[in-house]
Structure 1
Amino acid sequence: MNDSDDAATQTPSPARATANPAPETTIGRTFEVPDTMTAPPRTDAEVPDYARALGLPGLADIHVHFLPQNVLDKVWEYFDNAADNYGRDWPINYRYDTDTRLNIVRELGLRAIPALTYPHKPGMAAWLNEWNAEFAAAHDDVIHCGTLYAEPESADYVPAALAAGAKLFKVHVQVGVFSPDDEVLDPAWRALEEARVPIVIHAGSAPLPGTYTGPQAVANVLAKFPQLKFVIAHMGMPEYDEFADLAERFDNVYLDTTMFAAGYFSSPAEVTPAYRERLAGLEDKVILGSDFPNIPYPYVDQIAGLAALGLGDDWMRSVLWTNGAKVLGLD
């Protein structure tokens, strides 16, 4: 998941000729939910009605990407070569221009739209933060996001981003190839802890293991900064139980559902009874995440896959809205 080396541009590219409407999900047809649960949606168009049927004002998706266009082009190029990079195809399901993608997530029911960015090298995070500030200022419903890299400058640009109004951060350990417990990040973590700003952190070892991926470095950071509000991306895939341990141990550690049980990396039927039981007990710690637009299936598959776990409508209400709204300050 490599980013561009070039400076950011804010000019969106036109919609790609290869873009196609999201197909119907297959999950809802394959995996049934208990009769006591609200029937899950089968298409993106049905998602808003499903949320309303649950009594929700919308969706609180904490894991959505909007990037400078030249950076996004590089990310999409990487996924276009996923057969070589990951050993399997990864077709981008929402390969549209910026305005179209914003309208899609609005129509899905997102009440606030994250614009998560992440650097892959030193000297990149500061200008990504500048782009994030400008992008959020241009769109009232976009959450002002920030990011960081393990570099001395993070001690200055993270507090600067917070002072400018950043409300959500993204950290990508595998792409950045740095350890979150690197002491150079201590001032940044301290600033984020004091600000109580959530950080979506991709530290799990999937889809590719990295030099610094895994739960231990995250645990080390939390031992030093126990009030950090970490949201573990992808439920910590594949180290599910180890990251669930952290969510149970620390009040401000959450798990996001991105690509979990959506039928690409795992299906609901593959989730073990023991882990389902853990998820039931973590009802107030699991937050909807999607990875929109860089997903190889329609958005609805994430919703339908979670419903097919059979954990009940109350659990779905917590995951789709209550927990994310609380962490993002939407309630």
Structure 2
Amino acid sequence: MVSEEVGEEYRERSARVLGLEPGGAREAAAVREFARRIGAERGLVDVHTHFMPDRVLRKVWAYFDAAGPLVGRQWPITYRRAEDERIAVLRAFGVRAFTSMLYPHKPGMAEWLNGWAADFAARVPECLHTATFFPEPGVEAYVRAAVERGARVFKAHVQVGAYDPAEPVLDPVWGLLAEAGVPVVAHCGSGPVPGKYTGPGPMREVLARHPRLRLVVAHLGMPEYSEFLDLVADYPEVRLDTTMAWTGFAEEFAPFPHAELPRLAAYGDRVLLGTDFPNTPYPYAHQLEVMADLGLGEEWLRAVCHDNAARLFGLDDNAS
């Protein structure tokens, strides 16, 4: 737990946007103004947003509704809205590209989810075509099919899936994605609650076999921030996303070590904006506010919130 003094600091930051209706006109204006201020006039690129079939998403929300005992506090879903309303919120915020992070928790789900995600990306032009996988027979075949169909990013959820990412059945999948240059956003840190295979060890084993894998570590690897920064140092294709980091909510159970800010600044070209929208227990603008409060400068913020992802996904030819 953070000290009361530090906790109060983060509560004060959060208070700046508490008066804004989540997804309302004032929050949309605040997000757009943030983008303008950092020089990201074309909008933000958010690599960690969740869209999935309605019945699956409702089960995810039910999990968060009951997650209080797991993280020691309640976890309200700030943007619990119909799919078209959630898309409209991101458009109002000026988010130029986002993902449909979805994931299976058992065999037999991933291929079906990939079909849904391909259709979603086809009808929502701002969405980067997202896919997923699970360690099961046939996984290499359906991952290859998703790549051939145009998947631009994959989601791996080691915590929810409760699998070892280094197990042999997934080795050809990691190799395929490394060869294709398709990024994988992986929830492999041990926050908010640890799993049997979370932490940097299993992913380090994967990277030792596939050093060119474009791994994006979700949540900055929370709470093993330093260890995952070590992976960034050791492997030039490893990146981090900012999801939930530095927010008042996360700082209460997984505070980011201030001593690591210089390394975070040094690797500013390999940090990407992620938010967990719509599943955040606070307004979207709060994630942006706390990043600005790090004091790493507008150039760092512009790279994180736009340029790095624009370059990774080839969104335009002039990302600085």
TM-score (norm 2): 0.89
Q: Which residue matches 2:310?
A: 325
Please state how far the C-alpha of 1:97 moved relative to its aligned partner.
0.3
Contact kept? 2:14, 2:248, Cα under 8 Å: no
Please state how far the C-alpha of 1:272 moved relative to its aligned partner.
3.4
Alpha-carbon distance in 2 for matches of 1:145, 1:203: 18
Kindly tell me the number of residue pairs found equivalent between the two proteins: 295
What letter corresponds to residue 27 of structure 1 in structure 2? R
Alpha-carbon distance in 1 for matches of 2:12, 2:79: 17
Residues 238 and 64 of structure 1: CA distance in aligned 2, closer, same or farther (over 3 Å): same
Contact kept? 1:152, 1:185, Cα under 8 Å: no
Query: Cα deviations across residues 252-285 of structure 1 (Å, max 9, x unaligned)?
Result: 1000000000111117xx5433211111111111
Q: Which residue matches 1:6?
A: none
SS at match of 1:73: helix
Q: Which residue matches 1:5?
A: none
Q: Which residue matches 1:20?
A: none
Contact kept? 2:218, 2:242, Cα under 8 Å: yes
Alpha-carbon distance in 2 for matches of 1:271, 1:73: 30
Query: Cα deviations across residues 202-225 of structure 1 (Å, max 9, x unaligned)?
Result: 000010100100101101101101
Unaligned runs of 5+ in 2: 1-10, 17-25
What letter corresponds to residue 62 of structure 2 in structure 1? E
Q: Which residue matches 2:274?
A: 289
Q: Which runs of 4+ in 1 moved over 4 A?
A: none
Query: Cα deviations across residues 141-166 of structure 1 (Å, max 9, x unaligned)?
Result: 22111001111211110000000110
Q: Which residue matches 1:141?
A: 126
What letter corresponds to residue 122 of structure 1 in structure 2? P
Alpha-carbon distance in 2 for matches of 1:283, 1:257: 11
What letter corresponds to residue 241 of structure 1 in structure 2? S
One of 193, 197, 203 as aligned partner of 1:218: 203
Q: Which residue matches 2:38?
A: 54
One of 115, 126, 145 as aligned partner of 2:111: 126
Q: Which residue matches 2:235?
A: 250
Please state how far the C-alpha of 1:53 moved relative to its aligned partner.
2.3
The question of 1:306 aligning with 2:307 is answered no
Alpha-carbon distance in 2 for matches of 1:203, 1:251: 18
Contact kept? 2:225, 2:256, Cα under 8 Å: no
Q: Which residue matches 1:12?
A: none
Query: Cα deviations across residues 157-183 of structure 1 (Å, max 9, x unaligned)?
Result: 000000011001000000000011011
SS at match of 1:170: strand
Contact kept? 1:44, 1:298, Cα under 8 Å: no
TM-score (norm 1): 0.86
What letter corresponds to residue 190 of structure 1 in structure 2? G
Alpha-carbon distance in 1 for matches of 2:308, 2:208: 24
Identity %: 49
Alpha-carbon distance in 1 for matches of 2:69, 2:15: 31
